[in-house]
Structure 1
């Protein structure tokens, strides 16, 4: 059973990975210099000019993925979208049962996101961040430190936002992430959707599993 989480991992397991070219440090450095001078939104617009599909998929505030997508184009003359359409290699050779458990009422999802974020704070999330920030190798431009929640916490602990603003931004960023995940999931074929708020949903889940394994 695979549960999660990051749909990119599941997609790679199911369909294989495209054989993208290796990173080129010189090109990456040039893109970084451009971003330092003009901003990542400018680089994102350059990417949109040559690869609008990737640009639509990648947020303008996601420098790591913008850099990689534009690097692939500059390095090969082909967009990342084109590379993804090429043979992705070994596909999963087994039948799969794909079940998505998500409340159909988005207000319930939003309430649970807010509750989860506040529980993280109660369980010491900011103390964890202080420990991470004290490590000499960590900085706010690391991919891990730019992930949802961590980016907002770093800004708050640097004194750039109040506690209330930090909580608001953290919850908002998590809701945006959930929206992107649902958009991705709606594109999946052969998926069974179950609403955890509906009576008897666990029984329906068990029935689906039993029928698949029969």
Structure 2
């Protein structure tokens, strides 16, 4: 028997039934639910993020929900720090931490650790942007090929954000991105029980996504986005407004397309998100797969707990 304290990770694409299963688990065991979702962290964004409602939160409180204003940003490193603190508190109370969500980068940062990359330097970023304007990104990509051929092979010359970051890291630290990312944090002293819940038939997931988006509209999603726009301090380049559905609804309110197009584009963006999440999960090690709606899912998780 593994003597390490256990942490349950319940992953899955959007609309796969993660929240309902987590709440069901919390009814049976002394669990503390920790949200692993880069959209649920934001206040004033309840409907479009499918945030658990008051009744669900009463049944099973979720940590890391409603912790930031939409104008703020939150990194994978921020999540890792907060999650470890919450896991430790849960274990200290003799309870089981249950991490639930679909932000795979957060799960990866927690379980595999993070590389010691330097913080952003606005002055160096501005310098790189000026060089790109003068010389072109192709030339800067050539510079990256000289200092970090591995990153250059992975980063397309037409991807200025990642290309700029790779150059910035080298100029700040004197080490390549490849060299630094080879170093990870010390492994955490937990046994991670990792589960992924996904419908066996992709059509079912697509149907659930469309139905949920329509439900959001019925619940007042457009008014929620209208209120966010009215604040005057948010824009579509912010991480909060890049959440699926919000961008499409914002563009609809600005008159870029009609309501039906907004619905179609919102559903399409959500389906693309789900596809990316499933792609991540397919390459995930040590994963137990669960089928959405299967009554044995709870048993599958419970039998793994020491």
Give the alignment partner of residue 164 of structure 1, picking from 260, 269, 272.
260
Q: Match for 1:126 among 216, 222, 229? A: 222
1:74 paired to 2:157: no
State the 1:46 CA deviation: 5.2
Taking the aligned partners of 2:132 and 2:228, their CA distance within structure 1 comes to 26
Q: CA deviation at 1:142?
A: 1.5
Name the SS of the counterpart of 2:189 in structure 1.
coil
Higher helix share: 1
**Which runs of 5 or more residues in structure 1 are unaligned?**
none
Structure 1 partner of 2:8: none
1:207 alignment partner, one of 291, 299, 303: 299
Correspondence for 2:206: 110
Work out whether 1:15 is the aligned partner of 2:104.
Answer: no
Q: CA RMSD in A?
A: 2.9
Aligned residues: 195
TM-score scaled by structure 2? 0.56
Relative CO higher for 1 or 2, CA cutoff 8 Å, sep ≥ 6? 2
Aligned pairs for 1:55-94 within 5 A: 67=161, 69-77=162-170, 80=177, 82-84=179-181, 86-94=182-190
Q: For structure 2, which runs of at least 5 residues remain unmatched after alignment?
A: 1-97, 146-150
Q: CA deviation at 1:52?
A: 4.4
Give SS of 1:96's match: strand
Q: Secondary structure at the match of 1:2?
A: strand
How far apart are 1:195 and its partner, in Å?
A: 1.1
**Residues 194 and 287 of structure 2 are in contact (CA less than 8 Å); yes or no, is this contact kept in structure 1?**
yes
Using the TM superposition, give the Cα deviation of residue 95 of structure 1 relative to its aligned residue in structure 2, in angstroms.
1.1
Q: CA deviation at 1:29?
A: 3.4
2:96 aligned with 1:4 = no
Which structure shows the bigger proportion of residues in strand conformation? 2
Q: Return closer, same or farther for 1:135/1:31 CA change in 2, 3 Å cut-off.
A: farther
Is it true that 1:193 corresponds to 2:286 in the alignment? Answer: no
Structure 1 residues 46 and 158: alpha-carbon distance in aligned structure 2, compared to 1, 3 A threshold: farther
Task: Summarize the Cα distance change of 1:107–1:93 in structure 2 as closer, same or farther, 3 Å threshold.
Answer: same
What's the offset of the Cα at 1:92? 2.0
Moved more, 4-13 or 74-83: 74-83
SS of 1:98's equivalent?
strand
**Distance in 2 (alpha carbons) for counterparts of 1:35 and 1:147:** 29
Q: 1:211 to 1:173 in 2, by over 3 A?
A: same
Equivalent-residue separation in structure 2 for 1:36 and 1:126 (angstroms)? 39
Deviation at residue 35 of structure 1 after TM alignment? 8.9
Check whether the contact 1:54–1:80 (CA below 8 A) recurs between aligned residues. no
Q: List structure 1 segments (4+ residues) > 2 angstroms apart after TM superposition.
A: 26-37, 45-55, 69-72, 76-84, 205-211
Among residues 154, 158, 166, which one is paired with 1:53 in the alignment?
A: 154
